[in-house]
Amino acid sequence: MNASSAPARKALAGSALTRRLTRAAATAAVLAACVTTPATSTAAELREVMFVGNNWDGTADVVKSTGDFARIGRLNVIPDKTQRLTEIYLNPIKLAFFLGIRQGPGEGHDQFVDDMYATPDGTAMVVSRPSFADVVSLDLATGKIKWRFPVSGFRSDHMAVSPDGTKIAVSASTSNTVHVLDINTGRELGSFKAGDKPHENIFTGGGRYIWNMSIGEVNNNFDAPDQDWLKGDRHITIVDTSNFQIVKTIDMRSRLNAFGRSDLSNAVRPAVFSPDFSKLYFQVSFFNGFLEYDVATDAITRVKTLPKNPNTSDDRTTFVNDSRHHGLSINPDGSKLCVAGTMDDYATVVDRATLQQGPLVTASKPYWATVSGDGRQCVISESGADQITAIDFGTGQKTVSVPVGDHPQRVRVAKITAGWTGPTS
């Protein structure tokens, strides 16, 4: 072949090289697939359950989320108790608050677990621990602490999880602060100031906003209506989670007055939105019932007064943390509300359209209300009887009660690794 054929030889060589590179790339792709495919196929299968926080016990029970709600296992949420107590007793200020929590909101007991959520992969439980003023992530397989976040101030309280499960908001009661954390690492993503004693948190707008409800000072006995001004600043704080800036505050005082209920407290307690987020239903301090707030018109539209138990004293100083009723949930289609009548020792299902209540289901100091995994039942925590009880949304009747630990409060639906029955160590 003469010199004039050199370009052709180069072209053929280039073509051969291209073919070899193509084959090599294809081979590499196959090898990569072989490496990555097993990791995808071995992703842990998750099972839906319910977490029940036993506040005075320092444990959390894991129960089935439907059916008989049988207990699956139990987790110790204070494996570091000795270390935390040592720190507290060596610090006079921390000790003063620790003992204050015991005698105040703890009713003579330490508060070891308030709220709980599972991480998205189902391997850990994230818990707020009021008396230890922190949030911890507990490895469900081993029971060991993965990370710990001390909140500002001296007490942690209610939490909320973002719709995508990646962020949690926790109220720091004594510093009037809400911290937002990465649920997997415990890293603080941001924080914001709220009213006095921030309490309930709710994510809205697909996670874009957080609504925080502050309840004011509940540990004093200035409970008479004419002493209301001594309860502090109580309002709803709405924050944009993209920058943690406050976009709106709502003081229910003026809304209650406009509705003709100046007699009611403006301390918003447990609250739930309708499925379309157009209505907010909420309980307030000292009141046996709940109210409806229209988000678009920024006005209270309805109130439901529920029966009083004749055996319950009307002395407000006897109500636990100022809450006559504490616990509210709504079924998935938004047709029924479930109300925990804490001091009146009952729970009841209320038709949302008519506000007609169903049977009063006897319960011992019910402290929370949530919805079962299948959406068919309301599950309440009976803190006075150390059990949870399921009530059918359709009939309003009790279906089952299940024993749990000492003083159950918060109940949350979660997804954890299938086959879990308790820590291995």
| DSSP-derived secondary structure for 308-324 | PPTTS---GGGSGGG-S
pLDDT tens figures, 324-333: 999 999 999 9
Nearest to 55 by CA among 419, 421, 405, 307: 405
In whole angstroms, give the CA distance from residue 317 to residue 294: 31
User: Which pLDDT score is estimated for 425?
Assistant: 64
| pLDDT tier, 43 (very low <50, low <70, confident <90, very high otherwise) | low
In whole angstroms, give the CA distance from residue 46 to residue 186: 22
Torsion-angle region of 107 (φ positive above 0: left; ψ -120 to 50: alpha; else: beta) = left
| pLDDT tier, 13 (very low <50, low <70, confident <90, very high otherwise) | very low
Per-residue tokens: 129: 């621990």
E-assigned strand segments in 323-373: 328-330, 336-341, 346-351, 361-362, 366-371
User: Which pLDDT score is estimated for 304?
Assistant: 98
Section 388-416 average pLDDT: 98
Q: Count CB neighbours of 259 within 10 A.
A: 18
In whole angstroms, give the CA distance from residue 107 to residue 216: 18
Q: Where are the domains of the chain?
A: 45-417
In whole angstroms, give the CA distance from residue 394 to residue 202: 26
User: Which pLDDT score is estimated for 175?
Assistant: 97
Task: List % helix, strand, coil for the chain (3-state, nearest 5).
Answer: 20, 40, 40
User: Mean pLDDT, the chain, as a whole number?
Assistant: 91
pLDDT tens figures, 236-271: 999 999 999 999 999 999 999 999 999 999 999 999
Q: Who wins on pLDDT, 153 or 13?
A: 153
CATH topology of domain 45-417: Methylamine Dehydrogenase; Chain H (2.130.10)
In whole angstroms, give the CA distance from residue 373 to residue 411: 12
| pLDDT tier, 34 (very low <50, low <70, confident <90, very high otherwise) | very low
pLDDT tens figures, 155-212: 999 999 999 999 999 999 999 999 999 999 999 999 999 999 999 999 999 999 999 9
Distances (CA, A) of 187 to 35, 127, 167, 169, 214: 31, 15, 10, 12, 24
| pLDDT tier, 5 (very low <50, low <70, confident <90, very high otherwise) | very low
User: What backbone torsions phi and psi does residue 310 show, to the nearest 5 degrees?
Assistant: -60, -20
User: Which pLDDT score is estimated for 307?
Assistant: 98
Per-residue tokens: 28: 């590499």
In 56-198, alpha helices (H): 81-89, 92-103
On whether the CB atoms of residues 54 and 420 are closer than 8 A, the answer is no
Q: Count CB neighbours of 319 within 10 A.
A: 20
Nearest to 325 by CA among 397, 312, 333, 334: 312
Strand order in the sheet with 134-139: 115-118, 124-129, 134-139, 145-150
User: Which pLDDT score is estimated for 220?
Assistant: 83
User: Which pLDDT score is estimated for 225?
Assistant: 85
